[in-house]
Amino acid sequence: MQKPGVALPMSGLSLGGRLAAVAMAVLLVAAVFEVRVDVQGNKTLTTEQDFQRAFTELSNWGRWGQDDELGAANLITPAKRKAAAALVREGLAISLAHDIFQEDVPDGNGHLERTVVGARPGGASDKYAFTGTYHGSIFSHLDAVNCHQMVQGKGYNGRTLEDVQAAGGCPKGGIIALKDGVVTRGVLFDATKLPGKAPKGWLEPGTPVHKADLEALEKMEKVRVTDGDVILLYTGRWKHRAEVGPWKSSEGSAGWHADVAYFLKERGVSFIGSDAINDVSPTGFPQTMGLPIHLLALASLGVDIFDNLDFERAIETARRLNRYEFMFSAAPLRIDKGMGSPLNPLAIF
């Protein structure tokens, strides 16, 4: 059977004419191939159309069944956990959470109210209550894979807004789906290593970290992200805050650019996290779209997100050891129908 291709009439042509025709055919085929490579290799994500295309082509809906509640966490296998445990060499455990604020701060929304409810000779007790949501830009927390972010009223695996309203919470894919915790390999990307990105030791608000930047950091840190990893982005947010003071989230934040979603799909990433809100802000997209990385990771890919972690101590250790991979462990609260949880993850070197 004749294969489809570029057909050029050859009869009646001189030898020189035939050679010219063949050369033209080769150029045409090369051009077609070049366009195909460009279309497949071009991972730019700058418009709403690009976002809609990426949401569809990156989707993991149905990949692990229509009733799946774990999303990309399914890629963390027993073998992956055992391999992560083998990364513990120094036996050094480091918290990746920031202290919970117990008073209002300019860059947050609400705080934790801690009240002593009983003090007696036999001991004392207290109670905790958030005055606002633990979601947002200041508390270290994990977003549930479902319900927290939706596109056109649908979250991961097609869970609908109506489902949430009827259940009074997240009926499937809520935080309780991770009741057995997260144990896997963590990879800490030090974005301050990127040339020209951090002259003061931190990324300025609004600085994006692209897919190509992650590929460059892999080479610098001598790591390669594989299925089931959690990847963590150090921007120096808390160092910056400590030196110059807090700034409102509306003034911007360094973080992942939307094109990192392609990296998540290609490498089989299970979780992402950063020391800020993960999305770069401003995002470069219309404000009505919200946070593109949150939407693509949670609602399309089923990749859970750790927000507002604190890597200052971990990055010091990683730099000293010249090792940016470690065993990562996190255990969210067991809250039925919850859409996330404050928590204290650990890096164990």
The whole-model pTM stands at 0.87
Q: Is the pLDDT of residue 255 over 60?
A: yes
- Give the pLDDT band of residue 250 (cuts 50, 70, 90): confident
Q: Is the pLDDT of residue 22 over 60?
A: no
For 97-119, what is the mean pLDDT? 95
**Taking all residues of the chain, what is their mean pLDDT, rounded to a whole number?**
90
Could you tell me how far CA 212 lies from the centroid of its own chain? Answer: 15
Q: What is the pLDDT of residue 284?
A: 93
Highest mean pLDDT among 11-20, 33-42, 66-75: 66-75
Q: What is the pLDDT of residue 44?
A: 80
Q: Comparing 35-49, 162-176, 218-232, 235-249, which segment has the lowest mean pLDDT?
A: 35-49
For 104-125, what is the mean pLDDT? 94
For 163-192, what is the mean pLDDT? 97
Q: What is the pLDDT of residue 43?
A: 67
The CB-based long-range contact list for 222-227 (8 Å cut-off, 24+ gap) reads 223/187, 223/324, 223/325, 225/187, 225/263, 225/267, 225/269, 226/185, 226/267, 226/268, 227/75, 227/80, 227/267, 227/268, 227/270
Q: Which residue has the higher pLDDT, 37 or 167?
A: 167
Q: Is the pLDDT of residue 23 over 80?
A: no
- Give the pLDDT band of residue 42 (cuts 50, 70, 90): low
In the chain, what are the helix, strand and coil shares in percent, each to the nearest 5?
35, 20, 45
CA distance linking residue 286 with residue 292, whole number of Å: 10
- Give the pLDDT band of residue 32 (cuts 50, 70, 90): very low
Contact between 167 and 339 under an 8 Å Cβ cutoff? The reply is no
Q: What is the pLDDT of residue 28?
A: 36
Q: Does residue 6 sit in helix, strand or coil?
A: coil
For 269-285, what is the mean pLDDT? 97
Residue 73's nearest CA partner among 295, 330, 270, 299 is 270
Radius of gyration (C-alpha) of the chain in whole angstroms: 24
- Give the pLDDT band of residue 70 (cuts 50, 70, 90): very high
CA distance linking residue 173 with residue 79, whole number of Å: 24
Could you say which DSSP state residue 101 is in? P
For 115-144, what is the mean pLDDT? 95
Q: Is the pLDDT of residue 25 over 60?
A: no
> Could you state, in order of their start, the residue ranges of all structural domains in the chain?
49-98+140-348, 101-136
Count Cα neighbours of 292 within 13 Å in the Cβ-side half-sphere: 28
Backbone φ, ψ for residue 119 (5° rounding): -135, 120
% of the chain beyond a pLDDT of 90: 85
Residue 193's nearest CA partner among 224, 234, 232, 225 is 234
For 291-319, what is the mean pLDDT? 98
Q: What is the pLDDT of residue 100?
A: 96
CA distance linking residue 298 with residue 305, whole number of Å: 7
Tokens representing 331 are 């255990």
For 149-166, what is the mean pLDDT? 95
Q: Does residue 197 sit in helix, strand or coil?
A: coil
For 30-58, what is the mean pLDDT? 67
Residue 187, CA distances (Å) to 87, 209, 271 in order: 11, 15, 11
Q: Is the pLDDT of residue 94 over 70?
A: yes
Task: Please list the alpha-helical segments (H only) found in the chain.
Answer: 15-41, 48-57, 78-85, 161-167, 211-221, 237-244, 260-267, 292-294, 312-321
Q: What are the start-end ranges of the E strands in the chain? A: 93-95, 112-120, 123-130, 141-143, 182-190, 208-209, 230-234, 255-256, 271-274, 304-307, 325-330, 340-342, 346-348
Q: Is the pLDDT of residue 87 over 80?
A: yes
Q: What is the pLDDT of residue 93?
A: 98
Contact between 30 and 6 under an 8 Å Cβ cutoff? The reply is no
Residue 28: which residues within 8 A CB-CB, separation 6 or more? 6
Q: Comparing 7-16, 73-82, 132-141, which segment has the lowest mean pLDDT?
A: 7-16
Domain over 49-98+140-348 is classified CATH 3.50.50.60: no
